Amino acid sequence: MEINNVVGMNYLWMNHSVREINADGDGGAGHLTAKSDVYSFGVVLLEMLSGRRALDKNRPSGEHNLVEWARPYLTSKRRVFHILDARLGGQYSLAGAQKTAALAMRCLSGDARARPGMAEVVTALEQLQDAK
């Protein structure tokens, strides 16, 4: 991922998934907040789990937007494996992948108030790392 993509991720999502970012309760004014950053981090988690780009027009219709494509799989522990990058070759714990997907789902909540704070995200990631 290029630096421009990282710096511009919130802008990217402002243009392509306005309803998620504007769920911050700003009345649709498009202000970026700490909870917008948490949403963007949820997108990064999904990219890592799936090996896909956040937006990929080369994918089949219905799979262009990673969040919209992955969301149905994130709601079920049994279905999470459908989004996992095959290039990982099973070199992960299924429980760890499920917990990471659950964290991503919380970060991607349409209601910004339901998203965890970044400190909580860091704690969850540390717990995942310690569970190895």
SS3 annotation, 43-54: HHHHHHHHCCCC
- HSE at residue 66, side-chain half, CA atoms within 13 A, is 25
The pLDDT of residue 78: 87
> H or E stretch including 126?
helix 118-130
- For the record, the structure tokens of 112 come out as 């910004």
Asked whether the beta carbons of 62 and 69 are under 8 A apart, the reply is yes
Dihedral pair phi/psi, residue 65, rounded to 5°: -95, 115
- For the record, the structure tokens of 127 come out as 């717990």
Place of tokens 């994130």: 74
CATH for 3-130 is 1.10.510.10
For the whole model, what pTM was predicted? 0.77
**Can you list the residues of the chain whose pLDDT is less than 70?**
1-30, 132
The pLDDT of residue 4: 41
- For the record, the structure tokens of 9 come out as 């991720």
The pLDDT of residue 3: 40
Whole-angstrom Cα distance, residue 51 to residue 73?
15
Domain ranges of the chain: 3-130
The pLDDT of residue 47: 96
What Cα–Cα distance (Å) separates residue 40 from each residue in 35, 89, 120, 130? Answer: 9, 26, 15, 24
The pLDDT of residue 23: 44
